Chain A
Amino acid sequence: MGKATRFTLHVKIAFVILLILFLLPIYTDLTDNGFYLDLVNRLMILAIAAASLNLILGYGGMISFGHAAYLGIGAYCVGIPAYYGVDNGPLQIFLAVAASGIFALITGAICLRTKGVYFIMITMAFTQMVFFGIVSVEEYGGDDGLVIDNRSNFGSFINIEDNINLYYFILISLIVCLFLIHKITRSRFGMVIEGSRSNEQRMRSIGFDTYRYRLICYVIAGCICGYAGALLGNFTNFISPEMMDWAASGELIFMVILGGTGSLLGPVFGAAAFVILEEWLSSLTLYWHFIFGALLIMVVLFARGGISGIVTYLGNRKQ
């Protein structure tokens, strides 16, 4: 246990990033450059979503190809009340988390009865179901999406109409969500989840109802991602079914893999790398999707463990 006092490279990097994140608005305010603030906002929201996916995918081994559904559900739970003039923040957040949880419970109960490829495709199909459901409801904009006039109203607590306030709101949310996920994975519950990934039969034979544990984990991940969706709706002021297009789910998986599965900060690194790459490549060429796709194939073929794996490797080498 002599390692306890020695900080790993992960923690050091996380500390530096956190410091930069807290100071960023001061820089953007001084230089009057809102672009980076927007970029980092998007990055942090996607990091929450990716971290929630990592909880089921990385720790639990449940490969959900439909996680973007919760981003959409969360965002529409802000957008639809706002459409009717209800901008009560806590209510919207509650709706987003509850609706995501219920959707996760119903679909999870069906999906988790299946395994392997069936699970991948069924999660994907259910998300597509929500996608087409929303597309065909003309009232809420259908294909074209819906503009959110007013962001969630948190009364005198915080006014997120102000971009810098929104930024800190998202930053704190990210930290709280990561802390929550950290606590979950270190708990007895988290151990059961990880155990049923590596050897489900053994977990069952020592008396754990793995189906129930997995379902609860699936619901928790859905709720966290629904919360990220509510933030996304507030951030973009615009919601559309495209948020839960299956490509969006694919991108979330990419972030998790790029960052490294089953580590707390991996999804954050992954989301950061993803958003920055996307921004950079799309400024280079019109055909940036090609480079992006090729990179994805490369990561799968050659860079198992992702960024987090590379960091661990560097950290170990130094010691």
Chain B
Amino acid sequence: MDWVLFVTQLLNGLQLGVLLFLLASGLTLIFGIMDFVNLAHGSLYMIGAYFCGTFTDITDSFLYGIILAIPATAVVGVIVEIIIIRRLYSQNHLDHVLATFGLILCFDALVHFAWGPEGMAIPLPAILDGQIEIFPDIVFPTFRLLIITTGLTLAIILYLVITRTRSGMLIRAGASNRTMIGALGIDIKTLFTLVFGAGAAMAGLAGMMISPITEASIGMGNDIIIVAFVVIIIGGIGSVKGAFIAAILVGFIDTMGRSFLDTFLKLLLTAESAETAAPALSAMLIYILMATILIFRPQGLFPPRGR
């Protein structure tokens, strides 16, 4: 096998994995602590990308664009939580799904109104726009490498916050027994709002990091959010560790499937049927993975204790 291609695709898989983790960790925390299903998480991913585009335009710097867009997205998340989401916690999952589906429609229309129907390209600064040689013979785009390092760094920070700090302790306590921490005198309302805001910021950051590659567009979050759902189902809803492992796994399998499944199938089938089957099969691979895992572990790989 062509090992240069293999390593490059491995890195691409890792890049997809860390992006998925940024989305999925917020999703899984929001679900774990508040028992809330947030379909509109993908909209925050989109909002983050558009904010970043506008701020980059104004400040003429991608770095400042990101620095300004992260709190802006968090603020949007907090506002939405206070106005709408907060009223939904006591209702059932069906209501969550419907209301946040409504939110998606609202967000898409608002973005259409504010930024127009066309996508928005975000230019990269020259230092990030090149490629570097990471191993002999293997060159990889600098920016994608930056995505990977940022994502992994954030994963470590998140791990430290959750396991070592007081707020992390509250988050873990909330995930295993919400009523109890309320009874112990913790202000859960504020905790919920803060976690929602943090989830929004992480989703937004994921959107900001992908948009220089794919450009920001309306509905960009609607496809990836389903993959993020697949990730948290595989990882076990509520578990950040599970989300991390599942995100990396899904990232690898999806990328590898798309590049090598046809080669692999050619060993088993005729060249012609392999070529027809490979694209369809590789598009379905992560769902097949999810189904297989659920047959053996209906609660996912790492279900949080206490539920």
Residues of chain A whose beta carbon lies under 8 Å from any beta carbon of chain B: 57, 63, 65, 107, 110, 113-114, 116-118, 120-122, 124-126, 128-129, 132-133, 135-139, 246-247, 250, 253-254, 257, 286-290, 292-297, 299-301
Name the residue in B39, B97, B99 with the highest tally of chain A Cβ atoms < 10 Å from its Cβ: B97
Digit string of B74-100 for contact with A (CB within 8 Å is 1, else 0)? 000000000010011001011101110
Q: Is B55 an interface residue (CB 8 A)?
A: no
Residue of A nearest to B294 (CB): A110
Q: Is B183 an interface residue (CB 8 A)?
A: no
Minimum CB–CB distance from A278 to chain B (whole Å) comes to 11
B99: contacting residue among A137, A286, A300, CB under 8 A: A300
Q: Does A125 contact B295, Cβ atoms closer than 8 Å?
A: no
Residue of B nearest to A137 (CB): B280
Of all A-B residue pairs in the complex, the 6 with the closest CB atoms, nearest first, are: A293-B105, A296-B102, A290-B109, A129-B287, A293-B106, A132-B283
Minimum CB–CB distance from A303 to chain B (whole Å) comes to 11
Q: Does A300 contact B298, Cβ atoms closer than 8 Å?
A: no
Residue of A nearest to B36 (CB): A117
Q: How far is the CA of A118 from the CA of B93 in the complex (A)?
A: 11
**Across-interface contacts of B105 in A (CB, < 8 A):** 289-290, 292-293, 296
Q: Which candidate, B63-71, B225-233, B265-273, is the interface stretch facing chain A?
A: B225-233
Q: Does A296 contact B295, Cβ atoms closer than 8 Å?
A: no
Minimum CB–CB distance from A222 to chain B (whole Å) comes to 17
Minimum CB–CB distance from B242 to chain A (whole Å) comes to 13
Digit string of B266-297 for contact with A (CB within 8 Å is 1, else 0)? 00000000001001101110011011001100
- Given contact pairs A289-B105, A293-B109, A297-B103, enumerate 5 new A-B contacts (beta carbons under 8 Å): A114-B294, A136-B283, A247-B104, A253-B97, A297-B102
Q: Does B102 contact A120, Cβ atoms closer than 8 Å?
A: no
B91: contacting residue among A124, A253, A299, A300, CB under 8 A: A300
Q: How far is the CA of A286 from the CA of B31 in the complex (A)?
A: 34
Q: Is B135 an interface residue (CB 8 A)?
A: no
Number of A-B residue pairs, CB cutoff 8 Å, is: 133
Q: Does A290 contact B110, Cβ atoms closer than 8 Å?
A: yes
B237: contacting residue among A65, A118, A287, CB under 8 A: A118
Q: Is B101 an interface residue (CB 8 A)?
A: yes
Q: Is B248 an interface residue (CB 8 A)?
A: no
Q: How far is the CA of A138 from the CA of B283 in the complex (A)?
A: 13
Q: How far is the CA of A129 from the CA of B101 in the complex (A)?
A: 20
Known contacts A118-B237, A125-B230, A133-B283: A63-B94 contact under CB 8 Å: yes
Residue of B nearest to A113 (CB): B298
A132: contacting residue among B93, B276, B284, B298, CB under 8 A: B284
A246: contacting residue among B37, B226, B283, CB under 8 A: B226
**Across-interface contacts of A110 in B (CB, < 8 A):** 291, 294-295
Q: Does A124 contact B229, Cβ atoms closer than 8 Å?
A: yes
Q: Is B3 an interface residue (CB 8 A)?
A: no
Known contacts A118-B237, A120-B37, A136-B280: A289-B108 contact under CB 8 Å: yes
Residues of chain B whose beta carbon lies under 8 Å from any beta carbon of chain A: 31, 37, 39, 84, 87-88, 91, 93-95, 97-99, 101-110, 112-113, 222, 226, 229-230, 232-233, 237, 276, 279-280, 282-284, 287-288, 290-291, 294-295, 298-300
Q: Does A300 contact B283, Cβ atoms closer than 8 Å?
A: no
Q: Does A133 contact B284, Cβ atoms closer than 8 Å?
A: yes
Minimum CB–CB distance from B184 to chain A (whole Å) comes to 26
Q: Does A117 contact B31, Cβ atoms closer than 8 Å?
A: yes
**Across-interface contacts of A299 in B (CB, < 8 A):** 98
A128: contacting residue among B88, B112, B282, B287, CB under 8 A: B287
Residue of A nearest to B238 (CB): A117
Residue of B nearest to A292 (CB): B105
**Across-interface contacts of B294 in A (CB, < 8 A):** 110, 113-114, 118, 122
Minimum CB–CB distance from B231 to chain A (whole Å) comes to 10
Residue of A nearest to B288 (CB): A129
Residue of B nearest to A126 (CB): B287
Q: How far is the CA of A253 from the CA of B84 in the complex (A)?
A: 20
**Across-interface contacts of A63 in B (CB, < 8 A):** 93-94, 97
**Across-interface contacts of A295 in B (CB, < 8 A):** 102
Q: How far is the CA of A106 from the CA of B300 in the complex (A)?
A: 19
**Across-interface contacts of B113 in A (CB, < 8 A):** 287, 290
Residue of B nearest to A261 (CB): B94
**Across-interface contacts of B84 in A (CB, < 8 A):** 297
Minimum CB–CB distance from A264 to chain B (whole Å) comes to 19
Q: Does A253 contact B98, Cβ atoms closer than 8 Å?
A: yes
Minimum CB–CB distance from A210 to chain B (whole Å) comes to 15
Q: How far is the CA of A136 from the CA of B277 in the complex (A)?
A: 9
Q: Does B98 contact A125, Cβ atoms closer than 8 Å?
A: no
29 contacts between A and B (CB under 8 A): A63-B93, A110-B294, A114-B294, A117-B93, A117-B237, A118-B237, A120-B37, A121-B232, A125-B230, A125-B287, A128-B226, A128-B287, A129-B287, A132-B284, A135-B283, A137-B276, A139-B276, A246-B226, A250-B39, A257-B94, A289-B108, A293-B102, A293-B105, A294-B106, A296-B99, A297-B99, A297-B103, A299-B98, A301-B99
